[in-house]
Structure formats: structure tokens, C-alpha cells
Amino acid sequence: MLPVKKFELLAASAIALIATVPAAAQTAPAPAPAAAPQGAQDDNTSSDNDIVITATKRAQTLQDTPISVAVATAAQIERSQVRDLIDLQTLVPSLKVGQLQSSANTNFIIRGFGNGANNIGIEPSVAVFIDGVYRSRSSAQIGDLPNIQRVEVLRGPQSTLFGKNASAGVISIVTEVPKFEFGGSAEASYGNYNAVVLKADITGPITKTVAFSLAGNYNKRDGYANYVNLGIKGNNRNRYGVRAQLLFEPSSDFKIRLIGDYDRIDEICCTVANLFAGPTAAAIKAPPINGQINSNQRFSYNSYANFPSVTKIDNYGFSGQIDYAVTNQLALTSISSYRRVKTYTNADSDFTSADLIGSNQLTTKVDTYTQELRLASSFDGPFNFLIGGFYFKEDIQSDGSLTFGNNFKAYANALSGGAYSGNETLIRALAGLPASTPATAFGAAGQGRFEHYKYADNAYSIFGQVDLEPVKGLTFTAGFNYTNDRKAVRTNDSTTDVFSGIDLVQVGYNYAVTPVAFGGLGLPDANARAFAGSASNPFLGLRPLQFLPPFLNYPNAVENGKTHDDNLSYTLRVAYKFNRNINAYASYATGFKASSFNLSFDSRPFASTFIPGSPFQSPAPAASPIRTAGLAVNNLTAGTRYAGPEKAQVYEVGLKGNFEGFGINIAVFKQILKGFQSNVFQGTGFVLANAEQESTKGVEMDATMSPTKNLQFTASLTYLDPKYDKFTGGSSFNPATNTVVPTNLTGATPSGISKFSVAVGGTYTVPFGDAQAVIFHVDFAHDSAFKIAQGLPYKASPESLNASIAFQVIKGLELSVWGRNLSEPKYNPVIFPGVAQSGTLSAYPSPPRTYGLDARFKF
């Protein structure tokens, strides 16, 4: 933890750094681009050569925007061969992007805060917008986008202007607007792993008042991972998309922009490495299963499965933006959208060649409607305002199943020493069940859980912001956002796993009261109950094999399946423009994220409504609303149905300097998140809970330097000092057993967060001839070592070295060679417990080196 005095000293040093810039530079006639990470000079600049962004929902230069923003322009993305948002993190150190168990599960984290990828019911804490349209789920965010103009990463809570799910930050992707002159581009790239990337776009006028653009992209690559026993490649790329736009602009005061897009992903992803093979590995490898595991190979791309893990995503939508100048000082903007994303995944989640899991399928359909309306002023005087409203409606249908494979029964027998099947007849008789059939026998192939969820979310926001400039250069800002959010969920889950539905305490009780002459113990009732709930009950040793217990559906007589949250977020800020070169600001802002439902079989009633236990134990479980209502099912436990809201606050001071040949942005902050929605995998499912409070102190710096016209350097640094201020309901690994156990994490450092993240880069252009040039580019990103998982000793230190050499052959035509991840570091970004394999640790391996050739033509 950074002591307060050192933290203040670091902030003071940052301010002093700007103050020491030579005064002569302040009279420079043409300031350079400020604090843009990586890459050559941007083509989309205003007359004073500053990048224009819309982070505050107004067009402002990056220099004049009084919040912490990182911008990646189209030129920078091209030079670094950034293919998608996962690659973007190498340009923005504060942004981390995690690819999890499928292409549909991608997690965005800013300043160490973020969640939402592993459960369709959990909305992300980092909001993603594409051309002003909110993309609510990661499966709708990760496709390749053609014709990008820029990507803005807004760091810290942004709920005042962006609503309920921006408690950690915002990623805003802006694409090119159709133009009234013909133009376009085409790009073809070929790389290792037979990677083929094709992109093309064209734009031009249809009439004097209507312009169009059409863009498409295709990205296909062989997998770099191997399913050894299947002879199939994994972690491939197979995706494409199209995007069409119309711009109707009858006058300078009125325009309508219509956008329609469709993209598809059909991939085998994601390969899992075996970090540590636990005691269950012997049962998998031994006869009669004879399974294969690539044991203890944490960085290997070789794995085993009885079927490949697939992901299919269809994502499409329509949006319309209307901009109308009511007067020359009032502008009205309306953005309407409809989106649908359909996702199908099927994963062999035991990650072995054994047929333990026959299938693990999930199909989701998400329909999202949004409407934003805002009015902004541009008065010449000291007062300006922005006011607006936002409506959000989302409907989700999610249907899944997990079934046992042909080897599951043999696996359960191996783990129980044969007791699983050997005692089946006795257990059935004591539980009052009929004799088994092939379909109802314990662990029969095809038995499993079957899940059906319907989710509805209706929310609206009213937001506004006022800027007051009492004296030239000094601006006071106050903003607010009132959000009202209502969710309703209906479940229809079931299980056909006969064994998991048996109350083994009841079995022990019936065994204890059965007369000795009939094979029992002949105990009186009180003694039998004490026996049934104790370790003396031999049947309780089989409890770990009850993987899929009955599910209590809701809404029911006790649980209504609804949440209702409302919140007032606000921003207070003062900004001062010392001169055209130096700006400073200080702000306090709050953020909000509404409650999130656990749309999975791991959803459990809250402890306030249910006290677990068997009615055959002694003492019997105390009365609780669910038991009193007669709703209790065998082996039901308490947990959570949903996590409550997240509420963020941030204290931030920033300084922005823009000089001839040099630009620098610095932000120093303390960010606090109350009620962080933690989603922890525990080996057979996810547990959703709120951390009472997590905080981070940090510093962000972005700098550019151009010693000569043809040479640009960039540098970005992020320092984070995170801590769980209070998290009594946390969990961590027990390092002795590699199993997840409840843990009070108060005072602990959250896993997965680097203390220091650095990105540096350089671009050098060597012109020759009339329009020819050679452009050399290199960038390097590095994260200091961080703890991968709570309680385990393993650490990771990701890095990425990327480079390209481009040849401008003639005007518009560029040929290049490129490489990404050239140093090919080995690390595991995520570690998790082996599925139904106690003591086993699984992990995702880091990506390999990629390289190739690229041809790009612009006209």
C-alpha cells in the first residue's frame, strides 16, 4: 500500500514535471497532439492539431476535456495491427481485457475494476458504446469493427453522462461517418497460422443530401492450440461482419445517420491448460476410463477433450441518430437503437479426454432497445448546459443443459471406492425410491441439469450537466444522473440426476431406525437423528458426488424474482486553463451499477429466507420462510439470487500539457467501489456476492514527444494500489488442497491487478521520392507481476512487443510486415479450480507470437 505522504508526493511531482517545461515552449505556434498512445500522427485533427473527442458528449479536444481519457486513433490501431478490443489493451495500460472460457466471455477492466463476462445476468461495470449505442453484453462487443475513426477509453466512474453501468469506466468506439465524396479502402493480410484478414469500405454521395458507406471484414485463422486426441485445432478465428450507413444532411442544421450491422463468430475456444493435476487425475487415467490429461503443463497449447468447445455468436442491430440545431446555440440529439445477440456455446468443461461431461450447452438471446435524447447549449457567455434522458429495455432468454457422459459413473465409483454404484440398491430402498432402470440408475449418461431463464430489465435515466465560467479559463461543472432500474426474472430449472436429489441424512436416519434383524442399527428416534447428521453416517461420504441437486425455482410464494434500484449519481468539477498549453482540473464523481441476477444453476435463496439442513437431523434446522411455505427441496443450500448495486466514487486531479513537440496528461486519483459484484468460480459453479468496499489509489500518465517531424515517441504509465477495505464474504484457494473456501478478504490485495503497467512506442518515417516512405513502428507493453488467484502462489507478468515496417509504394498504397507478441512471454492470466475434480487447477495459457504481411490501399 502506498503511504499517504508518498501518494501526495507523487502527485506533487507530477505537477512539478509540467511546471519545469521551458517557458519558451508556451509560445509555440502549433501544439502537437496531446497524450495519444502509440502511433503516427492522427488524420482526424482540428485546425490546431488536437485530437477531437466526444468523451463529455460534446466535441472537445483531448487537451480541453477535463477527465482522464486515453485515445487510440485509426492510424495507431493500424500501425500496431490491433485486431479487436482484446488487442487494444496494449495501447491503454489502464485497460485490461480478459478472454475467458469462450469467445462470448470477454471481461473489460479499467483501473482494476470490472466484471460481468461469466454470467449473462451480470451487466458489465465497464460500459461499451459503439457510435453512441450501448452494447450491454460482452458477446455483443467483441467482433472486429471495420473503418474505425478512434477508440476513447474513459477511466473511472462515468455514470453522470453514461448511465447505470459505467461505474468503472467507458469504452467508446467511433466509426467513420459517410462522406459526400467518393473514397474508401481495402486491406488484405496474411500471417502465421494461415491467418487471413480482409477489410474493405467504400463511401460516397447518392444525392447532394444523401451519402452512404458500406464496410465489411473477414478474419479467419487456424487454431494455435491442439486437441491432441481429437486431431482438431482450438483457439482459432472465424468471424466476419458487414456495416452499412446512410447519412441524410439536407442542411448544416439537420442530419440523420442510419446504421445497420451484422457480424458472426463461429470458433473453437478456449483452450485450457492443466496447471496442477489433483488426486482425481488418477481415477481419470486408470481403467476402465483410461482418460488423458496433459498434466502439470501450465503453458501448453496441447489439451484433451471428448469434443471441442465451440462458440457461435450472431450479433446485429440498427440505430438512428438525429442531430438538429434548434438555434445556432442549441443542439438536439436523438439516438435510437435495437440490437439482438444470439449465442450458443458447448464446452467440454472437464478438459480431459474422459467422457465425464456429455455436453454443457448454453443458448442465449438478448434483445436490447435504447433511446437517448439530449439538448446541449453552446452559448458565448459564461453559462452552458446539457440535459437529457435515456431509456433502456432488455429481454433475455437463456436455456442451458449439462449432462453426464458415458464415463461419469465409472469416475464416481473410482472416487468413492465403488460405493456410488455398490450401495445404489440399499440407498434407493432407504430413500423410498423404486428400483433403477438404465435411464434412472445413478450417474447414467444423459442425466443432468436443464436450465431455462427469462429476464426483463426496464430502466430510465435523467441526466444533466451545467458549466459555469465566471472568469476566463476557470470553469465550474456540476452534473447529475438519476437512474431507475427494474428487473424481473423467471426460472424453470430441473435436474434428472437421481442421486443428487436424495437426502443422505434421511438415508442414514432410515438405516439407523431399521431393526437389526433387517440389516439396520435398531436405534431409537433421537439417537437415529443424532447418528444421521454426524460423521458416523457412512452415506454422507458420498455427498461430494451430488453435483446437480434439485433447484428451487422462482418467483415463488417467498421470492418474487424482482429488484428495484434507483440512484442519484453526480459530478462536481473545477477546471482551469492557465494558457493554451496547460489545463488542470479537480473532480469528485460518483457512479452506479444496478443489481445483477445470477442466471445460473448456482443461484440459491438468501440466508434470510432459508436455513439449510435436513428435517431428519438433530437438531432440525430452524424455521425459515421457504421451509414454512413448504418449498424446501432436498439438498437446497443458501446463497444469493442476485448481487446488490455497486456504487462508486472517485477523487481525481489532473493536468494536461500540450507544447510544440511534446504533450503530457497526468491524473492522480482515489477510487472507491462499494458493493463490488464479485463472481467467483468454485469448481462446480459460480457464487455471486457483494464485496462491501474495494478501493484503489493510482496515477495515470500519457505522453507524446516528437523531436522531429518524422519521429514520434509515446509513453503511458499506470500505477494502481488496490485493496479490499472490507470483504467478509470473499473466497480464496486453500493452497494445501487447491480448493476454494470462504475467506474474509478484508485488507487483502485483489488478485489480477498489476501495480505498474507501462506502454511505450515509437514511429519513424523515412520519406523518399514524391509519395514514397518507409515507416518503422514498435510498441511494448508490460505489466508488473500480479497474483493470479487469491490464496495461490502463482503470479503473472504479461507483456507484448509489437512491431511493423510499412512501405508507402505510391499514393494510397502501403505494404507492410508486422508482428505481435514477438517476445512470446509465458504466463497464465486466469487460474480456476478443475471442474468436478477436487484439487485440480486449470488455467488459460498466454497467446503465441503472430506475424504476417499486409497490403492496404486507400482512395
β-pair partners for 577: 583
Residue 316 has pLDDT above 50, yes or no: yes
What is the CA 98 to chain-centroid distance, rounded? 7
Measured distance CA(112)–CA(127) in Å, rounded: 15
Return the pLDDT at 116: 63
Express each pLDDT in 714-723 by its tens digit. Answer: 999 999 999 9
Measured distance CA(845)–CA(826) in Å, rounded: 7
Contact call for residues 641 and 554 (beta carbons, < 8 A): yes
Return the pLDDT at 62: 85
Question: Per-residue pLDDT averaged across 676-700, rounded?
Answer: 82
Annotate 242-257 with DSSP letters as a single string. EEEEEEEEEETTEEEE
Which of the four pLDDT bands, split at 50, 70 and 90, describes residue 684? low
Q: Is the Cα dihedral 284, 289, 295, 300 positive or negative?
A: negative
Amino acid, res. 213? S
Return the pLDDT at 88: 81
Question: Per-residue pLDDT averaged across 326-332, rounded?
Answer: 95
Residue 237 has pLDDT above 90, yes or no: yes
Express each pLDDT in 542-562 by its tens digit. Answer: 999 999 999 999 999 999 999
**Residue 599, C-alpha cell as written in the block:** 442466471
Residue 32 has pLDDT above 60, yes or no: no
Q: 279: left (phi > 0), else alpha (psi -120 to 50), else beta?
A: alpha
Please give the angle made by the CA atoms of 513, 515 and 520, to the nearest 5 degrees.
70
Measured distance CA(117)–CA(100) in Å, rounded: 8
Express each pLDDT in 815-824 by its tens digit. Answer: 999 999 999 9
Looking at mean pLDDT, say which of 271-275, 554-558, 680-684 comes out highest: 554-558
Residue 796 has pLDDT above 80, yes or no: yes
Amino acid, res. 775? I
Amino acid, res. 621? P
Q: Is the Cα dihedral 603, 605, 608, 614 positive or negative?
A: negative
Express each pLDDT in 635-654 by its tens digit. Answer: 999 989 999 999 999 999 99
Residue 766 has pLDDT above 90, yes or no: yes
Return the pLDDT at 246: 98
Residue 410 has pLDDT above 80, yes or no: yes
Q: Is the preceding peptide bond at 288 cis, omega within 30 degrees of 0? A: yes
Return the pLDDT at 21: 33
**Residue 584, C-alpha cell as written in the block:** 488542470
Work out the end-to-end distance of the chain between its first and last CA atoms, rounded to an integer number of angstroms.
Answer: 53
Amino acid, res. 592? F
Element (H, E) at 127: strand 126-130
Of 156, 152, 219, 149, the residue nearest 191 (C-alpha): 219
Q: Where are the alpha helices (DSSP H) in 683-830?
A: none
Return the pLDDT at 101: 65
Contact call for residues 515 and 522 (beta carbons, < 8 A): yes
Measured distance CA(571)–CA(56) in Å, rounded: 12
Amino acid, res. 279? P
Return the pLDDT at 731: 87
Contact call for residues 314 and 341 (beta carbons, < 8 A): yes
Measured distance CA(462)–CA(455) in Å, rounded: 24
Express each pLDDT in 274-297 by its tens digit. Answer: 999 999 999 999 999 999 998 899
What is the CA 245 to chain-centroid distance, rounded? 28
Return the pLDDT at 89: 81
Express each pLDDT in 190-236 by its tens digit. Answer: 999 999 999 999 999 999 999 999 999 999 999 999 999 999 999 99
Measured distance CA(102)–CA(118) in Å, rounded: 9
Residue 41 has pLDDT above 60, yes or no: no
Is the model more confident about 52 or about 766?
766
Return the pLDDT at 704: 92
| % of the chain beyond a pLDDT of 70 | 92
What is the CA 626 to chain-centroid distance, rounded? 35
β-pair partners for 819: 803, 851
Return the pLDDT at 614: 96
Is the model more confident about 742 or about 726?
726
Return the pLDDT at 386: 96
Kindly calculate the radius of gyration of the chain based on its CA atoms and give it in whole angstroms.
29
Phi/psi for 43 (5° steps) reads -85, -20
* CA-to-CA dists, residue 609 to 406, 613, 624, 774, angstroms: 38, 13, 6, 69
Contact call for residues 154 and 172 (beta carbons, < 8 A): yes
Amino acid, res. 547? F
**Residue 580, C-alpha cell as written in the block:** 493554451
| Neighbour tally for 805: CB within 10 Å | 14
Residue 15 has pLDDT above 60, yes or no: no
Return the pLDDT at 681: 64
Residue 24 has pLDDT above 90, yes or no: no
**Residue 783, C-alpha cell as written in the block:** 505489466
Question: Per-residue pLDDT averaged across 835-858, rounded?
Answer: 93
What is the CA 628 to chain-centroid distance, rounded? 40
Of 399, 331, 338, 330, the residue nearest 364 (C-alpha): 399
Express each pLDDT in 474-483 by its tens digit. Answer: 999 999 999 9
Question: Per-residue pLDDT averaged across 423-431, rounded?
Answer: 95
Return the pLDDT at 28: 30
Residue 42 has pLDDT above 50, yes or no: no
Of 500, 327, 479, 486, the residue nearest 404 (C-alpha): 500
Of 550, 427, 421, 560, the residue nearest 489 (C-alpha): 560
Return the pLDDT at 145: 66
pTM of the full structure:
0.89
Which of the four pLDDT bands, split at 50, 70 and 90, describes residue 771? confident
Amino acid, res. 183? G
Residue written as cell 442425466? 447
Residue 81 has pLDDT above 90, yes or no: no
Q: Decide: helix, strand or coil at residue 786.
A: strand
